């Protein structure tokens, strides 16, 4: 979910044929049955192959425990919550991964319109919620302001 900025439901229902390892892309079916294509980071490809080899389901990358359909999103949310609790991370939800993905893109100066497309948002206002002042952004802003105001 973090590596591609996926919603919980999108990750849970990823079809095997939605992964294009050769071109490093993932085809995602999002809200409103809208399709989008997002970059698949190279380091993730091997891990996804290993996951698939554990079950070899022909349709779903993450099948349910009976191997009859996709993983239930509630199961994914609960698992994330349990792992966060064990790691003593307070207030984190599975959606926090999507939020972190968007925040990191903004920190790396990716244009808001590109982030909007990657997240599958219809409106830029929805994407702008992810723009906030993080510590690296604040430090960068301070350096720019110091440079601009030098000599005043």
Catalytic residue ranges: 7, 31, 95, 98, 121, 130
Helical segments of 56-111, H only: 73-86, 94-107
Q: Which two tokens stand for residue 85?
A: 């609790």
Q: Which two tokens stand for residue 100?
A: 């972190």
Closest Cα to residue 104, out of 27, 41, 22, 12? 41
Output b/e per residue, 105-121; b: 16+ Cβ within 10 A: bbeeeeeeeebbebbbb
């Amino acid at each position: 979910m973090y590596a591609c900025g996926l919603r919980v439901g999108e990750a849970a229902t990823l079809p095997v044929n939605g992964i294009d390892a050769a071109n490093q892309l993932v085809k995602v079916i999002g809200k409103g049955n809208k399709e989008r294509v997002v970059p698949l980071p190279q380091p993730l490809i091997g891990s996804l192959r290993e996951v698939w080899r554990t079950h070899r389901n022909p349709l779903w990358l993450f099948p349910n425990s009976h191997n009859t359909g996709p993983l239930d999103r509630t199961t994914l949310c609960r698992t994330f919550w349990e792992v966060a609790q064990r790691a003593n991370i307070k207030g984190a939800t599975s959606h926090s991964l999507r939020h972190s993905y968007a925040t990191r893109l903004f920190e790396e100066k990716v244009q808001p319109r590109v982030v909007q497309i990657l997240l599958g948002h219809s409106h830029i206002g929805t994407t702008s919620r992810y723009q906030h002042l993080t510590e690296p952004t604040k430090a960068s802003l301070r350096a720019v302001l110091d440079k601009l105001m030098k000599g005043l």
